[in-house]
């Protein structure tokens, strides 16, 4: 039974995420609570995107410190599963620290930023460029590494 639930979690999440992004979701507290329960169900069944979305919603929009810490835990699980957005957010959380649960840790912050940047996350690449050009997060200034990350930064589209 557990296997079947794990297999259905991606499908359930895709449907719930579609409702979440639609106008049907807007301005209804009950629908919001229902969707959050579905996101949690999918996240608790290790669906990476659900871990990321649910964690992000709890951490950045949750009510109270406990919900925000729980959101950080879900984000960390998503980051450890390879979600680049969650990796960038965990870099920020570990860089600044959050409450008593996520102490500031430059080594972890740098590791998560690098993981996100290696997947092409533009904000993580920008952060690493600054880290290595200014010597932040316990790193010494290294022009070669800063330039390496700058070369990986995708060009911004130009308007016609």
The answer as to whether 157 is a domain residue is no
pLDDT at 69 over 90: yes
Pairwise pLDDT comparison (88 vs 100), residue with the higher score: 88
The answer as to whether 24 is a domain residue is yes
Q: What band does 158 get if pLDDT is binned at 50, 70 and 90?
A: low
CATH of the domain at 61: 1.25.40.10
Three-class SS of the chain: CHHHHHHHHHHHHHHHHHHHHCCCCCCCHHHHHHHHHHHHHHHHCCCHHHHHHHHHHHHHHCCHHHHHHHHHHHHHHHHHCCCHHHHHHHHHHHHHCECCCECCCHHHHHHHHHHHHHCCCHHHHHHHHHHHHHCCCCCCCCHHHHHHHHHHCCCCCCCC
pLDDT at 156 over 60: no
Number of domains in the chain: 1
Check residue 2 and give its pLDDT.
Answer: 74
Range of the domain at 45: 2-152
The answer as to whether 160 is a domain residue is no
């Amino acid at each position: 039974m557990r296997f079947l639930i794990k297999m259905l979690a991606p499908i359930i999440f895709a449907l719930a995420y579609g409702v979440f992004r639609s106008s049907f979701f807007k301005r209804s507290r009950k629908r919001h609570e229902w969707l959050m329960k579905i996101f949690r169900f999918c996240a608790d069944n290790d669906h990476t995107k659900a871990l990321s979305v649910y964690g992000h919603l709890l951490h950045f929009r949750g009510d109270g410190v406990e919900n925000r810490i729980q959101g950080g835990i879900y984000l960390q699980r998503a980051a450890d599963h390879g979600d680049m957005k969650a990796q960038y957010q965990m870099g920020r959380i570990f860089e600044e620290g959050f409450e008593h649960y996520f102490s500031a840790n430059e080594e972890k912050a740098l590791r998560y930023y690098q993981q996100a940047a290696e997947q092409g996350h533009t904000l993580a690449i920008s952060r690493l460029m600054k880290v290595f050009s200014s010597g932040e997060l316990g790193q010494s200034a290294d022009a070669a590494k800063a330039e390496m990350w700058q070369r990986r930064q995708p060009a911004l589209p130009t308007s016609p």
